[in-house]
Amino acid sequence: MLSGRVLLVIDMLRDFIDAGGALSCGEPARRIVPLVAEKIKEFNRQGDGVIFISDAHEKDDREFSRFPVHCVKGSDGARLIAELEPLVLKDSYKVFKNRYSGFFRTNLSGILETLQPAEVHVVGVCTNICILYTVEELCNRDYRVVVYRDGVASFDEEAHKWALQQMQNVLGVEIR
């Protein structure tokens, strides 16, 4: 890595971001799209790593007992939102997960070990679910983590605020 940074783009998928998505985070998610796009462009321009982490469930995933069916592998809802698709470069990394953490049974740990970033920057949804649990594991692995306040969102505003406080006060994450 030239500058020692990596950007994680978590769950910027149609089922979470688009208004008609199966588990849409609504207007708060739509508001973060410009900043997320700008961060991807910035990291691409500077030659820093960009890792797209995407929810990808089987049709009978047990998570669907708690949440509506969403991001089923191969479905339109599991695709990256249209605004971000053109920003995926050939050397962008893609990680597919079926749990809240981007690390659970994925190759994320190996990618980060290869890239050896000094900082991991994070944008996406949902702040209190997949962002929080992925960031917690980043911190457990001693990465310096930066989360963009205006680059994360949730369908639950109170839980969003709580998760930002937890990440900052308990995990020591820099919230920008």
CATH code where residue 116 lies? 3.40.50.850
Longest alpha-carbon distance in the chain:
44
Asked if residue 25 belongs to a domain, the reply is yes
With cut-offs at 50, 70 and 90, classify the pLDDT of residue 171. Answer: very high
pLDDT, average across residues 139-149: 98
Q: How many domains does the chain have?
A: 1
pLDDT, average across residues 126-138: 98
Domain span including residue 60:
5-171
With cut-offs at 50, 70 and 90, classify the pLDDT of residue 3. Answer: low
Question: What mean pLDDT is reported for the chain?
Answer: 96
With cut-offs at 50, 70 and 90, classify the pLDDT of residue 15. Answer: very high
Asked if residue 97 belongs to a domain, the reply is yes
| First-residue to last-residue Cα distance in the chain | 22
Q: CA quadruple 95, 96, 101, 104: dihedral positive or negative? A: negative
Rounded distance between C-alpha atoms, residue 75 and residue 168, angstroms: 35
Among the listed ranges 29-33, 34-38, 87-91, 129-133, which one has the minimum average pLDDT value? 87-91
Asked if residue 58 belongs to a domain, the reply is yes
Q: Which residues face 153 on adjacent strands?
A: 125
pLDDT, average across residues 5-16: 98
| 3-class DSSP string for 56-124 | CECCCCHHHHCCCCCCECCCHHHCECCCCHHHCCCCCEEEEECCCCCCCCCCHHHHHHHHCCCEEEEEE
Q: Which pLDDT score, from 0 to 100, does residue 2 have?
A: 39
Rounded distance between C-alpha atoms, residue 58 and residue 61, angstroms: 5
Asked if residue 176 belongs to a domain, the reply is no
Task: Give the pLDDT confidence of 39-81 residue by residue, as tens digits.
Answer: 999 999 999 999 999 999 999 999 899 999 999 999 999 999 9
With cut-offs at 50, 70 and 90, classify the pLDDT of residue 163. Answer: very high
Asked if residue 36 belongs to a domain, the reply is yes
